[in-house]
Amino acid sequence: MSQAYAWSAVATIVSASTAGDVLLSHAMKQVGDVSELRRRKGFLALAGTVLRTPTFLLGVTAMATAFYAMLFGLSWADVSLVVPASTSLTFVTNAVAAKFFLHERVDHRRWLAALLVAGGVVLLAL
């Protein structure tokens, strides 16, 4: 039963964190290079620009959902199961989502890296 709880937490973390990563990446590409913006406009103006970006707020909401799902998961199962399992799956779902939603050029090198890291993270959990 606790395994079912742990894996349902993993499923929630993966969905929420993929949505969060894609939304945040989209938001930060809209904002632009932060170091350059900070130099030009100052830190407060930069923070204001980021906080006023709608996809940033949506991304943070998705990440908060993933964070609380992680807190539940960690209290039910080992950190060595929940963290690597959810993260390894997130690498693969993020590569797919980045290709289709962010239109990143996910070439063979990026796929190989995502799969190697996902596989490595699974091995860490065994």
Partner 1 sequence: MTFRKYLVLAGVAIFAVTGDSLVSRGMKHAGAVSLHNLPSIILVVFRPEVALGVFFLLAFFACYMAALSWADLTYVLPTTSVSFILLTLVAKFALHENVSVTRWMGVLLISIGVGVVTQGPSMTHPEKPQQPECVPAPEPARMES
Report the alpha-carbon distance of residue 95 to residue 78 in Å, rounded: 26
Is residue 1 within the footprint of partner 1 (CB under 8 A)?
A: no
Question: Measured between alpha carbons, how far is residue 8 from residues 68, 90, 104 in Å?
Answer: 13, 14, 29
> Shortest approach of partner 1 to residue 90 CB, angstroms?
8
Is residue 57 within the footprint of partner 1 (CB under 8 A)?
A: no
> Shortest approach of partner 1 to residue 72 CB, angstroms?
6
Report the alpha-carbon distance of residue 42 to residue 73 in Å, rounded: 39
Burial (Cβ within 10 Å: 0-12, 13-18, ≥19) of residue 54: exposed
Is residue 83 within the footprint of partner 1 (CB under 8 A)?
A: yes
Residue carrying the six token digits 């596989």: 119
Is residue 98 within the footprint of partner 1 (CB under 8 A)?
A: yes
Is residue 20 within the footprint of partner 1 (CB under 8 A)?
A: no
Is residue 16 within the footprint of partner 1 (CB under 8 A)?
A: no
Is residue 75 within the footprint of partner 1 (CB under 8 A)?
A: yes
Q: How many residues bind partner 1 (CB under 8 A)?
A: 51
